[in-house]
Amino acid sequence: MMQFSPEAVRGLWNTLAKDAPDCAVFVSECFFHTVEALVAVEQSEGMDPMALFVLRAFEFTKQADAEHLDEVLHLGRQVTRQVLAGLTVNGLLKETSSTYVLTELGRRTLHTGRIVKHVLIRRLFNFLHPSMQYLAVQDPKQSLLFDLRPSQTPTPWKFDPQMLRYAISQPAEWKLRHRFPEDIMDVITGPVSPDSALGLAPAESGRVLPGDGTAAPQHLIVDKAQVLTSVLVARTEDSREVELTGYPVSIHGSLVKGKGQPYFSLYGPDDIHKAFPELGSFPTAEQVKQSWMAFAEQDMLAESQRADVRFDKGRLVVCISADLLERWGTFVVHALQDHLRWYISVGSLRRLCAIALEGTDEEARAQIQSLRVVLQLEEHPQRANVLLDMESLGGWLDGQSLQIRPSSRDLADLAFRHGCYRLAYEIGELEDMIDAAV
């Protein structure tokens, strides 16, 4: 799994999650079985009026040879024989001893007025490894998935052709939900009679699944191991994931340019849990600790091992003492402003989350509370009115539900230490006004 910077993680969060309370964001390497197989595809087209006219003659004649059929059709024996030959080639009729009989395809065509062909073509299908969940991916140019070398391929790596047959056999409702092509009728692994399907296409390179050694090249099922780094957005409802969308991510940790639409989507808790069983898991204390240490190393926070961390309500909560508050100035400010995002690894997934801050002792909690007040004042749209005089400042502080009310001098000192110099000066002026009055 590639390493992303805190800025990249924050960018993914801001782009995809924003402030939505009912979604969670994950990053994962998604391994795909890109399976190429020869399949029978059902194609329907309007029947040629002349051919349909000839087929209807079978409803009125008892002897279905060219001579007796022409007695019904009155087309001329040469024309009748030409049309019958064409219907035979297309699998609508079968000739036995100069007598023609309707095939099953011919009977359906006569009933519907449309010819339905089973054409043989090679198609690509994507199955997620290791769950073998079929995924309909949005990659028409096949440019986003990357091939894996044998040394990079997860083990064991094996695709069961029955998974493809299972998908083909599913009802229309399942195919609609999973966006599986409804025109595919069967997987072709051997020769077929011309009255059931038409056409062949050559196989391309890839991993050939084991067989009995007798299949022709065009009948082989090919399995290619590929990977895509994805950011997953899970929308939850009553603590259950009900919708999951995946987006391709570049090596720099940003969404692939031009891919504002999902690369794949899943709907329903059962399908989501099958595809990503770790999605509903909560990180262990050790996983949370490792995640925090990795972030602290990138942010160069001294003595980061002294912090107590936990995962709570979708956040990485960092508990620190008063002396670390002083030393981790920029980190503390960004955490209190809710600007920090990081990830916690849970199996193959990395759960993106906010970083929240708490104090481990009364002094630290009081400083965090006061600094939060300072930061709110710094961004307050009516700051001039709040700092008009001590009475207006006191009234504003009364509305903040503070456990410990800071003095104006404490607020000015905190503002100065954390770079809010203009705010420190404005609060200091209020102190000077009080001293002058005394």
Q: Among the three residues 264, 280, 296, which one is the final residue of a domain in this structure?
A: 280
Two tokens, residue 347 = 């199996």
C-alpha span between 174 and 177 (Å, rounded): 5
Helix, strand, or coil (residue 152):
helix
320, 173: one domain? no
Domain final residue, candidates 72, 95, 112 = 112
Is 43 within a domain?
A: no
pTM of this structure: 0.74
Query: Do 180 and 313 belong together in one domain?
Result: no
Q: Output the pLDDT for position 202.
A: 33
Task: Please give the backbone phi and psi of residue 329, each rounded to the nearest 5 degrees, phi first.
Answer: -55, -55
Per the structure, the count of domains in the chain is 3
Same domain, 289 and 274: no
291 and 233 in a common domain: no
Residue 149 sits in the same domain as residue 72: no
pLDDT given for residue 192 in this prediction: 60
Nearest C-alpha neighbor of 58 from the set 43, 48, 73, 39? 73
d(CA 83, CA 172): 36
With the CA atoms of 263, 268, 271 and 276 taken in that order, what torsion angle do they form, in degrees rounded to the nearest 10? 70
Contact 33, 69 (CB under 8 A): no
For residue 30, name the pLDDT band (cuts at 50, 70, 90): very high
Q: Are residues 260 and 295 in the same domain?
A: no
Q: What percent of the chain has pLDDT over 70?
A: 90
pLDDT value for 28: 92
**Within this chain, do residues 267 and 353 fall inside the same structural domain, yes or no?**
no
Point out the domain boundary residue: 64, 83, 112: 112
Tell me which DSSP letter residue 307 carries: S
Can you tell me which residue has the tokens 């969670």? 24
For residue 1, being part of any structural domain is answered with: no
**Structural domain includes residue 338:** yes
The verdict on 271 and 289 lying in the same domain is: no
Q: Where in the sequence is the domain holding 303, given as residue range(s)?
A: 285-437
- Domain match, 147 and 260 both: yes
> Which of 91-105, 167-181, 199-213 tops mean pLDDT?
167-181
